[in-house]
Structure 1
Amino acid sequence: MSLETEIEDLWARADEGLTASEAGTDERDTLDAFLDALEAGEVRAAEKQGDDWVANEWVKQGILLNFSLRETQRREYGDVAYHDVLPLRSTDDLGERGTRNTPDGTVVRRGASIGSDAILMSPCFLNAGAYVGDGTLVDSCDTVGSCAQVGADVKLGANTLLGGVLEPVEDAPVVVEEGVSLGAGCRVTSGFVVGHDSVVGENTLLTPRIPVYDLVEEEVVYGELPPERRAFTRFVESSVGEHDLFEGGAYKPAVVATAVENRTLEATEREEALR
């Protein structure tokens, strides 16, 4: 059987009541082989099909099975003891591929894929199922959530959070395509897709609930930042602005996207675009 078939069969058995205490050597061998394939980048939680990113449901099932069919164990990370169902990922392969991971806080959970010539600055955290492409920088205090997909030559500024979206299995996770630069303090959540070669200003929240005012195509989009954009946060008038509690008006966040070569936008132009 293929690895996909084995995972799907194991998923069905777990759905019928198979527990961690009942899982034997064969089941653990399948789970280990699956994690090896994830770390090698041979399987991924999501892939691009045409213009859309689509979740590989069986891969997300495999990650969940590694949680549900394993017992929590006492483990060690340096001098620190911790308890988890998964060990940390071995980093022995990174040096030979030109990837650097600095000490004292670079935490990579088993099942995370890391490309060649990448840089992981401590402290940072990569969760199971995360994919980080070649030449990408994961800066200090960054979190790359479970199943998040980060392309090649991406810069994640310090204190950036990429959410994961492990469940439901049919939902695509957060995706940051190749060549993107996210400024310090950015947050990308709930399956949002950041298009390739975009530049995002610091402290920008990208989530499907916040509109993106794309001034290039002159449209409002949700859940994605189109490729080759420069994006930053501005605030627009909220519908609750006339409430007595909000003297002087109330505002809600929005994201403004311009052509990537447009480094600035005059205040009057921003106001006109947002209105």
Structure 2
Amino acid sequence: RWCAAALAPPTPPPPPTPIVGPKACQGPTAADVCNVPAGQCARLSGAKFCPQVSVRGGLTLQNGAKLTTGRLHVPVGGRLLVGTPQAPASNVEINLQQTGELVSEGEVYIHGEQKTSWTRLSQPCNWCTTISVAQCSGWRVGDTVVLVGTGNGHNGQVEANRDYKTDERKIRSISGCQVTLDRQAGQNHRCEKYKGRVDICSEVLNMDRSVRIIGTAGNFADGVRVRQQHGGAMQINYARVSNCGQRKLGEYCLHLHKVGPCPSCSFSGNAV
């Protein structure tokens, strides 16, 4: 579970290592987005369903693209591009259905719009409707935020554990880093110095991203997976991955599996 950490205010994550060589795909246009041969290119800007997707050439998901598939495979020599750090993707969705996977031995570069992934309250919120947060870059009306519990004001461990819970709300309006919620918080979220020395402020998480990798909701044992394996490169930055992971060992929402040294690989700013 999330807990309030008595640490210094969060600092923005370092920028990912610059990508080496991921240029726009150049070559003849593939006849089918679902099967992109080596040396060919495909682009998707609308909605598309494929039972399986094989990318041996280059596949670019443009703004507004929605790809639904049970398996998206990028073998050696293939490349999947979704935005760049300079031109991040907007409103892109990869739906891997019930227990699907995005698995790659090639190259995968996914870049959503940068935003403050999480921050802390800068003032207490005692059943409040408007919160003040330390950072809020990229936050928008309609975003889902989660206020992490701090024991509803209790200092005792037993009482704090008993009353621990989080509040999930939508942003109704925002001015600077004053954020008005769609409804009142359901508890006392503290922001204070414990014994006058240690800052304890509730974390606030922003769960929305402009790129979404999703699975079917309601399956609590087996979800979707994203995996880079046995070489290649994967950058997934500022994306949301939901209904993911599996209870059995070695099946994760985001996974670098026996990739070896990969200075250009990164998972940064994601919501899982």
Q: TM-score range by the shorter chain?
A: under 0.3
Give the TM-score, by structure 1 length: 0.25
User: Relative to total residues, which structure has the larger helix share, 1 or 2?
Assistant: 1
Give 1 or 2: higher strand fraction.
2
Query: Relative contact order: is structure 1 or structure 2 higher (C-alpha 8 Å, sep ≥ 6)?
Result: 2
Output the TM-score relative to the length of structure 2. Answer: 0.25
